[in-house]
Amino acid sequence: MSSHRAPETAHRSRRAHRAILGATLELVHEVGYPRVTIEGVAARAGVGKQTIYRRWPSKAAILRDAVVSLTEDIARAGGAVRDTGDLEADLKAVLRSAVDTMTDPGYDVPARALVAAGIADPALGKELTARLVEPPLRLCLERLGSARGAGQIAQDVDPRIAVLMLAGPVAQHWLMGDGPLTHEYTDALVDLALRGLAPR
Amino acid sequence: MSSHRAPETAHRSRRAHRAILGATLELVHEVGYPRVTIEGVAARAGVGKQTIYRRWPSKAAILRDAVVSLTEDIARAGGAVRDTGDLEADLKAVLRSAVDTMTDPGYDVPARALVAAGIADPALGKELTARLVEPPLRLCLERLGSARGAGQIAQDVDPRIAVLMLAGPVAQHWLMGDGPLTHEYTDALVDLALRGLAPR
């Protein structure tokens, strides 16, 4: 019997976990992060408050896991960096996809609340960097590495600085709302960056 | 008599204003923004709470004015963009100066708290962009404009995208703490950006 019951319990547990993360994202989007409460998340997810408190020490910790999980889902669904052999097309595609994600209110509002919390709290900020920022940067770095291997960018370019020249302006526009976050903008960014990266 | 008393009152008022902004910066640095209270600021500044409430509607509004005022002081004291004719040297100098400012805890801690508040609150974010981000970007834009006039950068480069390729990565490193915020890093950034900007 126990060998039958254990998977069922694990399944219920995973379902509750997903319901709590989903409820958190919805509520942040609907009422704003400051007004989200553990009670509200429990009610929306259909679980008891204790189920939440057993898993997470704080509202910020739930938001962190919810946004990380959403980001990973988006990356799996097609936000990854392709290698078609055409560096310009691949970089434009990944930045366009990032813009689409960032301008979707279902992602934008919770992720922005989380980043704000991470800027105010350096320990959380370091964790967010490791879990949200580093993985996509690493994929872009690998793509630039293969482009360098193919002789498409200069050997003496530091690929990490090149990646940050693409990611930094997009992140700044997203966070500060100080410019158009459009495909035209990220295409122009890629065009200008590639001029500097080209073999001389 | 009134013509004598009025300037004295204005002088006292300005002194109180400066004391309140200075006390706010000190307290945010010492105990962190969430633990700063209007009572604490009033006590440190040597003014009554009502003096503060008459001028500012909220703690965030005081922090905004304190950081904006500090930023303007720093810009006046030498953080501005020079035009020596040597674009590379001028861009390196302004980014080095920005790094020095951002890594000074007396600036870093309050400014980071303010930016976090601005990311969570889009209306405040827009105001911060206008008062803190746009002025230095505009100075860099002017410097690139004069470089283009002097034939040092290609005519078909969009100077705004070029400026953001320099400012964006620095802002991202500062806010996310995900890399070395050093003179070596910003120098390398300028070197790589200028490769892309050079006339072809």
pLDDT at A23: 97
pLDDT at residue B91 tops 80: yes
Separation CA B1–CA A186 (nearest Å): 63
**Contact indicator for A163, A141 with CB cutoff of 8 Å:** yes
What is the nearest CA distance from A122 to chain B, expressed in angstroms?
8
Q: Please state the φ and ψ torsions of residue A196, each to the nearest 5 degrees.
A: -75, -25
Task: List the one residue out of B174, B70, B87, B25 whose CA is nearest residue B79.
Answer: B70
Separation CA A116–CA B117 (nearest Å): 7
- Based on the fold, state whether residues B91 and B185 are members of the same structural domain: yes
What is the nearest CA distance from B118 to chain A, expressed in angstroms?
8
Distance of CA A24 to the CA centre of its chain: 16
- CATH at A74: 1.10.357.10
Task: List the one residue out of A146, A134, A159 whose CA is nearest residue A90.
Answer: A146
- Based on the fold, state whether residues B19 and B88 are members of the same structural domain: no
pLDDT at residue A125 tops 70: yes
- Based on the fold, state whether residues B86 and B184 are members of the same structural domain: yes
pLDDT per residue over A17-66, tens digit each? 999 999 999 999 999 888 999 999 999 999 999 999 999 998 989 999 99
**Contact indicator for A42, A101 with CB cutoff of 8 Å:** no
Picking from A19, A40, A55, the residue at the C-terminal end of a domain is A55
**Contact indicator for B113, B33 with CB cutoff of 8 Å:** yes
- Based on the fold, state whether residues B45 and B132 are members of the same structural domain: no
What's the structural domain count of chain B? 2
Separation CA A13–CA A113 (nearest Å): 27
- Based on the fold, state whether residues B97 and B35 are members of the same structural domain: no
Percentage of residues in chain B with pLDDT exceeding 70? Answer: 96
**Contact indicator for B90, B81 with CB cutoff of 8 Å:** yes
- Which residue of chain B has the CA closest to A114? B120
- CATH at A29: 1.10.10.60
What is the pLDDT confidence band of residue B186, given thresholds at 50, 70 and 90? Answer: very high
Top pLDDT among B43 and B77 is at B43
B 63-102 residues with CB < 8 A to A: none
Query: What is the ipTM, given to two decimal places?
Result: 0.80
Picking from B34, B55, B76, the residue at the C-terminal end of a domain is B55
Closest residue to A171, CB basis, from B162, B172, B177: B172
- Based on the fold, state whether residues A173 and A90 are members of the same structural domain: yes
A12-16, A92-96, A172-176: range with lowest mean pLDDT: A172-176
Radius of gyration of chain A (CA): 20
- Based on the fold, state whether residues A120 and A109 are members of the same structural domain: yes
Task: List the one residue out of A137, A13, A117, A12 whose CA is nearest residue A71.
Answer: A137
Q: How many CA atoms lie within 13 A of B182 on its CB side?
A: 5
Question: B-chain residues within 8 Å CB-CB of A34?
Answer: 120
pLDDT at A116: 87
Tokens 């997810």 locate to A45
Separation CA B53–CA B74 (nearest Å): 27
Q: Does A105 reach chain B within 8 Å, measured CB to CB? A: no
DSSP single-letter state for residue A156: T
- Based on the fold, state whether residues A64 and A143 are members of the same structural domain: yes
Range of the domain at B7: 1-55
**Contact indicator for B192, A157 with CB cutoff of 8 Å:** yes
What is the mean pLDDT of the segment spanning A75-101?
Answer: 88
CA distances from A111 to A20, A66, A78, B5, B122 (A): 16, 9, 19, 53, 13
pLDDT per residue over B1-38, tens digit each? 455 667 778 888 899 999 999 999 999 999 988 899 99
- Based on the fold, state whether residues A82 and A158 are members of the same structural domain: yes
**Contact indicator for B157, B197 with CB cutoff of 8 Å:** yes
Task: List the one residue out of A141, A167, A135, A169 whose CA is nearest residue A153.
Answer: A141
Task: List the one residue out of A36, A38, A120 whose CA is nearest residue B35.
Answer: A120
- Which residue of chain B has the CA closest to A176? B125
pLDDT at A1: 47
- Based on the fold, state whether residues A114 and A162 are members of the same structural domain: yes
CB pairs under 8 A between A and B: 137
Burial of residue B11 (CB within 10 Å: 0-12, 13-18, 19+) is exposed
- Based on the fold, state whether residues B172 and B118 are members of the same structural domain: yes
Q: Does B162 reach chain A within 8 Å, measured CB to CB? A: yes
pLDDT per residue over B150-159, tens digit each? 988 888 888 8
- Based on the fold, state whether residues A82 and A124 are members of the same structural domain: yes
Q: Does B170 reach chain A within 8 Å, measured CB to CB? A: yes
**Contact indicator for B119, B185 with CB cutoff of 8 Å:** no
Picking from B35, B55, B75, the residue at the C-terminal end of a domain is B55
